[in-house]
Chains A and B, each alone.
Chain A
Amino acid sequence: MEFVVISLLNGITYGLLLFMLSSGLTLIFSMMGVLNFAHAGFYMLGAYFAYQISSWVGFWPGLLVAPLLVGVVGAMIERYGLRLAHKFGHVAELLFTFGLAFLVEEVVRLIWGNSSVDYPIPAELDGTLFTLFSTDFPIYKGFMMLISVGMLVALYGLLTRTRIGLIIQAALTKPDMVEALGHNVPRIFMLVFGGGTALAGLAGVIGGNAFITEPSMAAAVGSIVFVVVVVGGLGSLGGAFVASLLIGCIQTFSVALSISVTDVFALVGIALPQGSQISRLTITQLAPVLPYILMVGILIFRPRGLMGARES
């Protein structure tokens, strides 16, 4: 029982962090049709900016300023880079972000060095929130949940309750029409890209000290975020939310299961040959690749994802 509850909490926390990353990516994709390969790079920038700011003036100003800075950087990149690539089509845009991911990592290495930096959890948030059975639940994890849920609510409110949100929603589906109505669609694109990268930056600010702030942190989450977005359905915020939680929990619970692949196949009545390499694998060993299996399965059987509206 203790184990199930703790694992569920862990899964949800991790899932919510994934959602912060994937929400920005989804927003950008549904708006511009671009899968932003450099998205995790902005997550990393968020962490490093926050590290730098917190080493000068403390964590709390960084929590606010770092995502904004990341958003500004993102908007500039959209304005002076991505928009140029846009004329050459989707492949060029995608490759632009692909190259950008390379460059962001190299710049981070150049400025902050190859090793990890010491970006600590602020003292106010360092401690135990509550003890469940005998396992501590740290305050910081609660804080992460709070921020992510808060962001989810704010994002939902922004998109459905404000004028700019309505324009963005309209521009998602009918950009020509919105342009014809006199709105500056390129500027909306820039805003959305900036906003999406700012969300990634925010995830970086709170993920950077929960985990480790170092130059390969972008590569470590890069592909899993894609999995979330694809499983949830390209362009669907709700889908990204469900998929984030699903993948967070799958990863957490699969670690817990000590059964082997042989047992799983036995459940469906297939006996694997004894002693083969596959039969010796345990689910725990497979845990971090399960999301990819899930993604491939989803793409084969339901290519538009769990809640996606369109296929590509």
Chain B
Amino acid sequence: MKKKFIQHLALAASALMISGSALAQVKIAFIDPLSGHFANIGENALKGFTEAADILVNQKGGIMGQKLEIVGFDNKGSPKESQIQLKAAIDQGFRFVTQGAGSGAAHALVDAINKWNARNPDKTVLYFNWAAVDPTLTNEQCSFWHFRFDANSAMKMEAITNYMVTDKKIKKVFILGQDYAHGHQVAKAATEMLAAKRKDVKIVGNDLHPIGRVKDFAPYVAKIKASGADTVITGNWGNDLSLLIKAAKDSGLKARFFTFYGGAIGSPAAIGAAGENSVYQISDWHMNIQPNKAEQYALDFNKKPGGEMSVARVNTAVTMIAQAMNKAKSTDPKTVALALEDMRFDADNGEVWMRKSDHQLMQPLFLSVFSKKGSKGVKYEAEGTGYGWKTVASISQRDSQLPTSCIMERP
């Protein structure tokens, strides 16, 4: 805190001080919500980045002998505030930023960084996206200065529907989502992919509800029930997901829920027993994957306050960035970006590949179901619920690839 205070003071007095000498370490600005409604997501990811930088980079020699430091900037979940914090970070000499919670803030950052780099070619900034999954970020609106380490929502849907091809129990599907970009994209991808892969599956409902405004999901569950659906696909996250699952359990709905964020921080605790054997999630990692290379790391991680480890991609991002810098022997954003392109890396969840054409990381994905701890394949529970994730299907890096429409402007 003192360090940050002094940084602010220094900046208020004069920005002239910030130059080469302040860059004795490599610093990444972590711009995500650290207060307000989504603070738990930001806190947890910040912990993930700090731990990864410390254990996976600094204790193994750092970046060309320098330490990698992650500094949190609170964007309060707002796209506009993200831009203000980006300016603050640039002022303090940061040349690398990372963000993930929310595609709105991600778009704002990509946009601001594109413009900044065009207007200040000597002080370029590079952006690592760890969780914003809007497909357009690596398609129509792709940018040379943006790298995404999470599979986008279309890739995740591809993985889910690939599994559905093999599961003949699925006959009637209901799609429910939040009424905003992510919900729309999930609904669109689900209808198109199911129509292409499983013509016999009937889509019996496709509904959107305003995000974060529904208190009682019982009416939606009644509607799902009336439609006779055996499977629900939902892009919902946070309370919109937990409340849906709870309402389904209350009214005895026997459907399976294929979710994107069932394992995100806070969700397992909020869902609890209501999700037993009915909640599926598609993710890049969970505590019970086999082989689990990050097992010991995760156990140590979970002992420290700030939430459990639920993704591998934060570790992947941090180590890949450090490797790229070491390989290029440079911490210049453009050189680092070029080194990251086409990079292959052996990550916690298997071999991953940063595709050059759109800067989208290709990685293995896992479909898992929320099951009782101790049952076959469930060694560890999630968030002290007594339930953990059991792998149902593994999707290789190659199988999750989708073509891109990105036409990248390269500097």
Contacts and interface: CB of A to CB of B under 8 A. Distances in A.
Contact of A216 (B37, B216, B226, B251): B37
A10 B39 contact: no
B374 interface: no
Contacts of B307: 115
A224 B207 contact: no
A220 B272 contact: no
B173 to A, nearest CB: 16
A15 to B, nearest CB: 10
B209 A287 contact: yes
Interface string B209-234: 11011111011101101100000000
A54 B251 CA distance: 25
A115 B215 contact: no
Contacts of B219: 7, 10-11, 251-253, 255-256, 287
B250 A136 contact: yes
Contact of A252 (B205, B218, B272): B218
Interface string B237-278: 001001100100011100000000000011001101000000
A134 to B, nearest CB: 8
Contacts of B218: 10, 13-14, 252
A284 B207 contact: yes
Contact of B210 (A10, A256, A289): A289
B147 to A, nearest CB: 28
B243 A10 contact: no
Interface centre among B214, B222, B265, B307 (most CB of A within 10 A): B222
A128 interface: yes
Interface in A6-33: 6-7, 10-11, 13-14
B43 interface: yes
Interface centre among A212, A220, A289 (most CB of B within 10 A): A212
B383 to A, nearest CB: 9
B40 A136 contact: no
B269 A285 contact: no
Interface in A105-162: 109, 113-116, 118, 120, 128, 131, 134-138, 140-141
Contact of B250 (A138, A221, A284): A138
A92 B121 CA distance: 51
Contact of A285 (B207, B242, B272, B385): B207
Contacts of B216: 10, 13-14, 211, 251-252
A204 B269 CA distance: 19
Interface residues of B, number: 37
Contacts of B252: 128, 131, 134-136
Contact of B225 (A113, A135, A219, A221): A135
A2 B212 CA distance: 28
B199 to A, nearest CB: 23
A253 to B, nearest CB: 8
Interface string A209-250: 001101110011100100000000000000000000000000
A113 B246 contact: no
B317 to A, nearest CB: 23
B208 interface: yes
Contacts of A212: 239, 242-243, 246, 270
B215 A7 contact: no
B300 interface: no
A-B pairs, top 5 by smallest CB distance, nearest first, are A136-B252, A114-B40, A255-B219, A288-B213, A10-B218
30 contacts: A3-B222, A6-B251, A10-B216, A14-B216, A114-B43, A115-B40, A115-B269, A116-B266, A131-B252, A134-B225, A135-B222, A136-B251, A211-B243, A211-B246, A212-B270, A214-B239, A214-B270, A215-B37, A251-B216, A251-B219, A252-B216, A252-B218, A255-B219, A255-B222, A256-B223, A285-B209, A285-B210, A287-B209, A287-B210, A288-B210
Interface of A: 2-3, 6-7, 10-11, 13-14, 109, 113-116, 118, 120, 128, 131, 134-138, 140-141, 211-212, 214-216, 219-221, 224, 251-253, 255-256, 258, 282, 284-285, 287-289
